[in-house]
Amino acid sequence: MSDKTDSAPVPSKDAAGVLSIDAMGGDLGPEAVVAGLARAVKSIPAIRFIVHGDKPVLDALIAKRRGLSDHCTVRHAADVVAMTDKPSQVLRTGKDTSMWSAVEAVKSGEATVCVSCGNTGALMAVSMIRLRKLPGVNRPAIAILWPSRNPSGFNVMLDVGADIRADADDLVQYALMGTSYARNGLGLDRPRVGLLNVGTEENKGRTELKEAHDKIETVAADNGFDFVGFVEGGDIPGDRVDVIVTDGFTGNVALKTGEGTARFVRDMLGEAFRATPLSKIAALLAMNSLKRLSKRIDPRRVNGGVFLGLNGTVVKSHGSADEMGVAAAVQLAWSLSESGFSDRLRARVAAATASLEKAE
């Protein structure tokens, strides 16, 4: 895969408010994607889409949703990236896929953000080849919003799987990119950043973590964030920090563990309240509280990992996303588009790179 960087795509005036949607890559098919688009339009009437995939199929699905066709331009793509396809294979033969076409619309400036439920590795590979990395970024990252005790209700965590490796300089870049995402995605003026480790003591952890700790501390003041130092796994859903920085291997394990735990808690509560007649009565009395808990830990509400470090914004939805999940990813993409996130992130990385070079 090329390590080149390139200039940012220049969106046309007509691209304002336009999202590029890969409609074919999800586990539930284009039906779930189109349903999610219709749901998003109800809350954001100004939104418009370029929808990529099998045109006859998509035209029929969109026509069934009253008024949705007014928000959609369908672009035919004959092929689909399967979840089992290898990224290298997609780079060689994937130019006619809906995923490639969706990323290309951001590259050409026709849309501001790409949204896909497809194969994560393939999407990252295509995005890196077509959009290129920002100058100064060695490894892009995937950032997610994690339910937390903070007033916003979420923390930002990255990387959660773009690359299993990360050296000290990569972790510094993740801190800077995560800070920019927290500002634009959560509206925080001065985010608090923590570096995930096996303990909070400064003598703990691998060599690259200790080196990253010192470098992040050096650039924090000039880049408008507070560095709280090392944090532990229990701080991920807590209120001590707003941004958790880690490598993609650790972040992905934490993400999958968190999602599995949420499902386990929901299932166990259901079983407990169905166990006896008395517990069923208790469930009725606690129904409102249970609904609030279920909503709070529902991964569909925060569906959408954002690829950071590229010349353009890409939102990766869960492959198994249903109507609600797709709508959440689309709404996140809209929010980032409206905030001018890509341009702000580019400026933040450029300033921070200069700051690091000066410090060295």
* CATH code, domain with 220: 3.40.718.10
Q: What is the pTM of this model?
A: 0.81
Q: Contact at 8 Å (CB) between 117 and 25?
A: yes
Answer whether residue 264 is part of any domain: no
188 and 53 within one domain? no
293 and 174 within one domain? yes
CA pair distance 224, 214, nearest whole angstrom = 16
**Portion of the chain with pLDDT greater than 90, in percent:** 54
296 and 160 within one domain? yes
> For the chain, how many structural domains are there in total?
2
Answer whether residue 87 is part of any domain: yes
**What is the residue range of 236's domain?**
138-255+288-301
150 and 47 within one domain? no
294 and 152 within one domain? yes
CA 8 to chain centre: 20
117 and 95 within one domain? yes
Answer whether residue 262 is part of any domain: no
Between the alpha carbon of residue 118 and those of residues 84, 291, 344, the distances in Å are 10, 30, 27
CA pair distance 247, 255, nearest whole angstrom = 12
142 and 132 within one domain? no
Answer whether residue 4 is part of any domain: yes
Answer whether residue 275 is part of any domain: no
Answer whether residue 225 is part of any domain: yes
Strand (E) or helix (H) holding 325? helix 323-338
Answer whether residue 324 is part of any domain: yes
- The distance in angstroms from the start CA to the end CA of the chain is 29
128 and 219 within one domain? no
CA pair distance 181, 198, nearest whole angstrom = 25
174 and 50 within one domain? no
Q: In what order do the strands lie in the sheet with 18-22?
A: 72-76, 48-53, 18-22, 113-116, 313-316, 305-308, 141-147, 154-158, 243-245, 192-196, 226-231
pLDDT above 80: residue 15? no
Length of the chain: 360
* pLDDT reported for residue 89: 92
217 and 92 within one domain? no
Residue 85 token pair: 């396809």
Residue 204 token pair: 């703990």
CA pair distance 225, 337, nearest whole angstrom = 23
Q: Share the mean pLDDT of the chain.
A: 86
CA pair distance 312, 162, nearest whole angstrom = 16
The pLDDT tens digits for 233-275 are 999 999 999 999 999 999 989 888 887 887 787 788 778 878 8
Answer whether residue 273 is part of any domain: no
